[in-house]
Structure 1
Amino acid sequence: MIMAEFSPIATLEGDARFDAYVAEPAGQAKAAIIIIQEIFGVNEGIRRKTESWAEAGYLALAPDLFWRIEPHIELDPDVPDEMSKGLSLFPRFDQDAGIRDLEATIKAARARLGGDAKVGLVGYCLGGRLAFMAACRTDGDAFVGYYGVGIDGLIGESKAIGKPTMLHIAGADHFVSAEVQQKMHDGLGPNRHITLHDYEGLDHGFATEMGNRRDPAGAQLADSRTVAFFAEHLD
């Protein structure tokens, strides 16, 4: 039986702490996986994903990256007012500080498992963008982004990617145009460390754990690829 609860993590600077939802597997963890939130915070869907990774044998951590704005924000994208609040948080969020918090979470994961433990990162929406940024800027071991937004503006950083990185692209993403998707393929395709998967006809959020945005077949396909990817590069 897994154990899951919120637990504090020290910032890299050591001047503050933020919470992460941490799920521990029943036995010895194979590695660690960090789950990076959407604009809706560490809500029930993100907690379910975290618990699923623990059930698969990984130490799983979902840091509360919005803590500088307001700790423990939890929003439901199917509620219009809560969707609007989530969209309003995106421009207020300091992404560079968020990457430092992900670095701190990587450090905390390795402290729990041992200094040479492997750590994977997987993110959704805003978290998909942050997973890509983390692949460029952190010492994680493998990275997966689902329907990351604005990645075309980060392609210049991709030359720093030297670890396995996989991106799931929603073909009918109303936040990521076909033109942007093409720029991602053109700019990232030549990097042998990056794998791109397209999901024709699927919209943003198709792999959410619950709610109106979920496409069960698309979610199952993308998640199976993610499971295999982490098994190859972390186990």
Structure 2
Amino acid sequence: MATNTEIPTLDGEGRIPAYVATPEGTARGAIIVQQEIFGVEAGIRRKTDEWAAKGYLAVAPDTFWRQQPGIELSPYVEAEMQAALDHMGRHDFDLGMRDIEAVIHWIRREKGIAKVGFVGFCMGGKIAYMTATRTDIDASVGYYGVMIDQMLGEKHAIARPLMLHIPTADHFVAPEAQKAMHDGLDDHPKVTLHDYEGLDHGFAAEIGSRRDEAGAGLADARTEAFFATHIG
């Protein structure tokens, strides 16, 4: 069952819109599904529903709710792509991390689920890394995360398992940035990096021509096994 929910911010002064999918029976854990720059659109809702079908409480918070709640944009329409990039450019990532903390607290306190995982895509992949360094999330996964190479100074704070999926032909993450990620994280005991040769940004998108079926299937299988081990 899926519903639209509002989750209180940490200071109690705001409410974060979220798409929530509930599993049948007792949840084996919870997964926060972090959107790309396009909003909690049909593809993110599908991913959220799929995690619920696997037995997890799945929560997809609206990252840009302070700017414009409820956006659903397309990477295949130039004007919408530009609007999405503008939203990311105006996003306060530090404040956004407090929203992620609020969602984690809501899951643990209101829903009574102790183990919480996080999976994010594109901008959400960056946020997955930040969640691993700045919160007590139990496990995190990032798909084609951007700008992670600029945040390697935070890697010492990673205390729980983190997995990153890196397409080698990512036109948003240059080879030099990918090399920096490997140089900085390959020897970290809590971090696992997987490369996907020749694949581009967005290869695991649920909808549209960006998707590579084989690559998405492999990455998703790795993610599912990762959460089964670390979340339940």
**The TM-score by the shorter chain falls in which range?**
over 0.9
* CA offset digits 1:61-96 (Å, max 9, x no partner): 000010011111111112222111111111101101
Q: CA RMSD for the aligned pairs? A: 0.8
What does residue 13 of structure 1 align with? 11
What does residue 225 of structure 2 align with? 228
Query: What letter is aligned with 1:158?
Result: K
Displacement of 1:97 in angstroms is: 1.0
What does residue 144 of structure 2 align with? 147
Q: How does 1:175-186 map to 2 (within 5 A)?
A: 175-186=172-183
Query: What letter is aligned with 1:193?
Result: K
Name which of structure 1's ranges 165-174 and 73-82 shifts more when overlaid on structure 2: 73-82
Number of residue pairs matched by the alignment: 232
Instruction: Give the Cα–Cα distance (whole angstroms) in 2 for the partners of residues 80 and 219 of structure 1.
Output: 24
2:166 is the alignment partner of 1:169? yes
* CA offset digits 1:115-141 (Å, max 9, x no partner): 6x1000000000000010000000110
Query: What letter is aligned with 2:83?
Result: K
* 1:44 pairs with one of 42, 45, 55: 42
2:32 is the alignment partner of 1:34? yes
Query: What letter is aligned with 2:103?
Result: T
Displacement of 1:106 in angstroms is: 0.6
Structure 1: which 4+ aligned runs deviate by more than 3 Å?
none
Displacement of 1:113 in angstroms is: 3.4
* CA offset digits 1:176-196 (Å, max 9, x no partner): 001100000001112110000
The SS at the match of 1:209 is: coil
Query: What letter is aligned with 2:40?
Result: V
Name which of structure 1's ranges 57-66 and 106-115 shifts more when overlaid on structure 2: 106-115
Q: How does 1:88-103 map to 2 (within 5 A)?
A: 88-103=86-101
TM-score of the two chains, using structure 2 as the length reference? 0.98
* 2:62 pairs with one of 61, 64, 67: 64
* 2:129 pairs with one of 119, 128, 132: 132
What does residue 189 of structure 1 align with? 186
Instruction: Give the Cα–Cα distance (whole angstroms) in 1 for the partners of residues 72 and 92 of structure 2.
Output: 18
Displacement of 1:202 in angstroms is: 0.3
Name which of structure 1's ranges 105-114 and 188-197 shifts more when overlaid on structure 2: 105-114
